Amino acid sequence: MKALAHGYLEPALPALVGSRADPELRALRVEALGRAAVGLTEGIEALLARDPANPELCLWLGRARVEEAWTLKPDVRARAVQAGRIRLFHQAMESARGPLLTAARVMPYDPAPWVCLMWLALGLEASRQEKDSLWEEASGRHRGLYAAHAARLVTLSPGWGGTSHEMFDFARATLSWAPSGDPIAALLPLAYFEHIAGEGAGRTRLWYSYEVQRELTLAAGRWNGSRAAQPHPRAVEAHNAFGAAFYLADMRRPARGHLTRTAGRFSVLPWSHLGDPGKEFRRACGRLNVVTPG
């Protein structure tokens, strides 16, 4: 990441090559590298011109273009006067499709390109049939992939054309078969954040409901990530999800426990539902007396 900050792209490639045998790690790394490469896609294109069938470069370019496109998406309230920007957003998002499909063709067993295509379909407001098809491609290659399930959860959310009922059914069904110790349990608190955002309720008293608190506590107990022999690549995200939910529910002890185990690292979801992710994370840590690095 330090090399990327200075415009050096090549040092990032071994991180993707080295993750080929670990779908969870690969999906996480391409997501992080894609965000870090916003504004640097011309450099990735130059590397790809010398090696057109390189699956890592195709995957990275596709994800970076998806991330760049999201930065162009106009606020919903301003769409009436930003038709030109909407067109640019759609063009930018569509430009990611080619390299992602190439990556999927070159490495047919890799679910990562299909996860990226799920976000592309979400941004382009594709048909439900297309979204379902992409989900089947991703989950068919790795049933328990956290990244695919997170994308599917958002796809089913009320804020993106789905319903809360369908979204919660998906989250709870996933928890019913997920192995104990899997951070995919964090789908449940994420579903509550999506539900509140989709219903336009803001910071409601839903978090104080006994039923909600009990369900979140059971899900967190089912995960109990601290017992895992090897930390899961998505453990920090899950701790953020549970920590934020317990924080809003004023359940200080579990909130503090989860946020402490983030080691000061925040994730975009769910904090973006409350405002600036970094600021909201640090505000919560401050109120809970959780010491964060720096």
Q: What is the pLDDT of residues 142-197, one digit of tens each?
A: 999 999 999 999 999 999 999 999 999 999 999 999 988 899 999 999 999 999 98
Residue with tokens 């690549």: 233
Is residue 81 situated within a structural domain? yes
Strand, coil or helix: what is 20? coil
Residues 171 and 224 in one domain: yes
Domain count, the chain: 2
Mean pLDDT of the chain: 91
Residues 4 and 134 in one domain: yes
Phi, psi angle pair for 171, to nearest 5°: -60, -45
Q: Is the pLDDT of residue 225 over 60?
A: no
For Cα atoms 27, 269, 67, give the angle at the middle one, nearest 5 degrees. 55
Is residue 150 situated within a structural domain? no
Is residue 50 situated within a structural domain? yes
pLDDT at 250: 94
Q: Is the pLDDT of residue 228 over 60?
A: no
Q: Of the candidates 145, 174, 196, which is a domain's last residue?
A: 145
**Of 80, 49, 60, 62, the residue nearest 13 (C-alpha):** 60
Residues 21 and 132 in one domain: yes
CATH number at residue 133: 1.25.40
Residue with tokens 């104080």: 208
Is residue 165 situated within a structural domain? yes
Range of the domain at 15: 1-145
Residues 161 and 123 in one domain: no
Residue with tokens 């789905």: 162
pLDDT at 11: 82
